Chain A
Amino acid sequence: MKKILIIFAHPVLEKSRVHKTLLKYIPQVDEITVNDLYENYPDFDIDVKREQQLLLAHDIIIWQHPLYWYSAPALLKQWQDLVLQHGWAYGKTGVALSGKKIFNVISSGGGTGAYQHEGYQHCTINDVLRPYERTAELCRMTYWPPFWVAGTHKMDLPQIKEYGERYKQLLLRLREDKINEDTMMQVSRLNDLVDISQSNLA
């Protein structure tokens, strides 16, 4: 069993459709912890010690957030700035996170087609996520491909729920350590690794 920490950042969750649904599908099990940053630190006063303890206590870390201006909401940046200290997370003696796995769970208004070199955005989602990848590598963690809900502007609720179900299956399989890391590194989105054809999408 692997322990999973979901670091969640959304400033107006009450207006969100995608993330509200995704949160509902997160399995309520001991191995999965949801750390709701905007609820825990509404004043942006991040408790660095607590956050570091949480990171140490888990094997797989998830940054879950909407994509705002090709990046995360401000509090997640603040979290990175404060929690990933030199000498602890990176640098010569910073080995605390070494060997842990990390990836982003993101939503974007634009669809997959837009994130191509020849598409509307002129870059891929991997290009957009490059800062997170480099952060992970500097902290000696393995950066996995994202779980990506793309094209949310034109998505209806049943479609969003489908993503929720996929998210749930992914989390359960990661918890049970059932996904081979090599196959994982070959896909561009972790969404593609789970099969929800048998799942009940009520």
Chain B
Amino acid sequence: MDHSFFTTALVFLAAAVLFVPLAKKSGLGSVLGYLIAGVIIGPYALGFVGQEGQDIMHFAEFGVVMMLFLIGLELEPELLWKLRKSILGLGGLQVILTTLVIAGIALLFHFAWQQALALGMILSLSSTAIVLQTLSEKGLMKTAAGQSAFSVLLFQDIAVIPMLGLFPLLATLQAGQSGAADTHAVTNWVEGQPAWLHTVIVLGSIAAVIAVGRVAVRPLLRIVAKTKMREIFTASALLIIVGIAVLMTQIGLSPALGAFLAGVVLANSEYKHELESDIEPFKGLLLGVFFMAVGASIDFNLVSQQFREILLWVCILIAVKVIVLLLLGKFFKVSTEQNFIFSFSLTQVGEFAFVLFSFSLQQGILSAQTTSIMTAVVAISMALTPLIILLNEKLILPRVGTDELEERQADEIDEKNPVIIAGFGHFGSVIGRFLRANKIPATYLDLDSDRVDALRNLGFKVFYGDASRDDLLRAAGAQQAKIIIIAINSPEKRLEMIETVKKHFPHLHMLVRASDRYDAYDLMNAGMLHIYRETLDTSLRVGVDVMTLMGYRKYTAKRLAKNFLKYDEANLKRLSAIRNPEDYVVEARKHIEEIEATIQSDRQNLLNEADISWDPDTLREEARTLQNGDAAS
């Protein structure tokens, strides 16, 4: 490790730690935070990072590979099959139409048709990293917009393969060829092989990834898991991904696609969650570095020289992408609101463009002048994404989308519902149904516009939007309500919402959903009294049924479960009091120790609390010692 590695690491880490929280705090999202951090440390502002920005970017592209591996892990093959229509239809049409339109425009700019086609293909791609990061941060991945965006991105990742195959046929500039040789000096198994063998190797490798994933990886992970050395498990997880990336690069496929495939193969394995939690931090950090490198690599000299051309291309690009996406969304019957979210999230050009530009330079398709201008266009389009999404949210959606407020007849009196339920997912919906069944009027808040529309059709009073906003809460009648149920999915949003309610509506009783005990600690620290851990009651019901099936009396099993629940809640309070409230960061190791301690004290306390109320032993004992013997019944 030379000195400059540490300096570089220092610069990147410091920039991330400084700017990302700032960007998040001001509602810009982490991606924009990273990009701004990149620009600031880059050669045109502070100059901490010079030309090595490019190299770092290539290195950090590995974060994208990891992200696709994680996405694959989340996607069971059945789900992928279910999405086939939107992946092929929506994704396929998006790539083809955008390519053709952009190529057509490029022809107008007097590019040769081969160059125009190459530009079209490269620019039709969008950034998986930026879009998925942004959408999941906003909690929109599960909505129609999120799913559609995901399908399109997935198809684009697949489409890179034929593009790479097609590019050599588009070569027009003889001069460019010379540059190609040295980069391709990296041994590549398919280089120079006949086409049929090429195909065989590619198909064989994909089959190998699937077969190895199915047959070899699980036993390997089992052996590794048995060593109980966490770092070795992490190493194996990284080994899987790096191995696939190397293999895919060797056969000329996208490493991201290979990682995705491996993820899907492992989606059903028992080690899914361990793999996820091991890779997640690497992915997050590398993606962060990647975004910063993008920010740092924007050539502001070139931008200022070619300002008008670059700006023109950025505008054309965004306009073409949005229009194509909107039309396709409409054609595939995505609702207006969701369609706008979907279309505006995919307006940038993806990280693969950087790879494809350098490839097309080597292949002699595009000139160095064009590629450097286009690289700037791509970087700017990426940097603009969070702003465009923000623009869509603030200016366009309020006009076209689902109204935040419910439309009401003029003559209808505004009923003042005593209960507000924030979040109508699987948690909130049961509460809502239960209250409705018992004719307790409630007002609902939700972030999924499709769900909001559906609920309104059913006659529910629903407000659409981010429930942690005080203006939305006020519109929903928080001033007049008595109780607010915070049932939204994201723990961070729940904490935000608690702060909003505390500040603006202190009279409301807050009933809060908690994911687990650690989340419950946070809620206790936030001063919450009514905390409901999602799975606690259900898990205990399973416990009761197990005891019953083993022959225990039902009433006894139920009483034991109720005791356990009471005891566990008390224990939670006790442990939360012991914990340092400032100490939010609990390491995995501490979690395990705490679970051990909890189980230990479960045994001691619950056994001592045996039933003495109905226990005849003591009474019998006493009766025996009495001469009289005729004690109480």
Contacts and interface: CB of A to CB of B under 8 A. Distances in A.
B306 interface: no
Given A153-B624, A154-B624, A38 B555 contact: yes
A42 B558 contact: yes
B611 interface: yes
A15 B631 contact: no
B304 interface: no
B21 to A, nearest CB: 49
B619 A38 contact: no
A39 B629 contact: no
B553 A14 contact: yes
Contact of B632 (A11, A13, A109, A119): A109
A23 interface: no
A11 B555 contact: yes
A113 B630 CA distance: 7
B179 to A, nearest CB: 78
B631 A109 contact: yes
A70 B615 CA distance: 17
A12 B558 contact: no
Interface in A12-31: 12-17
Given A15-B614, A110-B633, A153-B619, A42 B628 contact: no
Given A12-B614, A153-B624, A110 B630 contact: yes
A12 B619 contact: no
B550 to A, nearest CB: 12
Interface string B615-629: 110011001100011
A182 interface: no
A14 B617 CA distance: 13
Interface in A81-96: none
A190 to B, nearest CB: 19
B277 interface: no
A153 B623 contact: yes
Interface in A145-176: 151-154
Contact of A154 (B553, B558, B629): B629
B616 A15 contact: yes
B556 interface: yes
Given A153-B623, A154-B623, A154-B624, A108 B555 contact: no
A67 interface: yes
A105 to B, nearest CB: 15
A108 B633 contact: yes
B631 A153 contact: yes
B554 A38 contact: yes
Contact of B630 (A13, A39, A42, A120): A120
A12 B619 CA distance: 15
A113 B631 CA distance: 11
Contacts of B557: 42
B629 A69 contact: no
B558 A67 contact: no
A62 B135 CA distance: 66
Interface residues of B, number: 21
Given A38-B554, A39-B555, A153-B624, A111 B616 contact: no
Contacts of B611: 12, 15
A121 B628 CA distance: 12
Given A14-B556, A43-B558, A110-B633, A153 B620 contact: yes
A3 B607 CA distance: 43
A114 interface: yes
Contact of A15 (B615, B624, B633): B615
Nearest to B620: A153
A96 to B, nearest CB: 28
B554 A42 contact: yes
A113 B633 CA distance: 12
B114 to A, nearest CB: 76
B156 to A, nearest CB: 55
A185 B485 CA distance: 62
A111 B554 contact: no
A23 B615 CA distance: 19
A157 to B, nearest CB: 13
A110 B554 CA distance: 29
A70 B632 CA distance: 9
B553 A39 contact: yes
Q: From A17, A39, A108, name the one whose CB has the most chain B CB atoms within 10 angstroms.
A: A39
Contacts of B624: 153-154
A69 B555 contact: no
Interface string B548-569: 0000111111100000000000
Contact of B629 (A15, A108, A111): A111
Q: From B555, B611, B616, B620, name the one whose CB has the most chain A CB atoms within 10 angstroms.
A: B555
B556 A114 contact: no
A120 B615 contact: no
A68 B619 CA distance: 12
A60 B624 CA distance: 37
B628 A13 contact: no
A70 B552 CA distance: 28
B621 to A, nearest CB: 9
A158 to B, nearest CB: 17
Given A15-B614, A15-B615, A42 B633 contact: no
22 contacts: A11-B555, A11-B614, A13-B553, A14-B556, A15-B615, A15-B616, A17-B616, A38-B555, A39-B554, A42-B554, A67-B633, A68-B633, A109-B623, A110-B632, A110-B633, A111-B629, A114-B630, A119-B630, A120-B630, A151-B629, A153-B631, A154-B629
Given A12-B615, A70-B633, A151-B629, 20 more contacts: A13-B553, A14-B552, A38-B554, A39-B554, A42-B557, A67-B633, A108-B633, A110-B631, A110-B633, A111-B630, A113-B630, A120-B628, A120-B631, A121-B630, A151-B630, A153-B616, A153-B623, A153-B629, A154-B623, A154-B629
Interface of B: 552-558, 611, 614-616, 619-620, 623-624, 628-633
Q: Which 6 A-B pairs have the closest CB atoms?
A: A114-B630, A153-B623, A42-B554, A42-B555, A38-B555, A120-B630
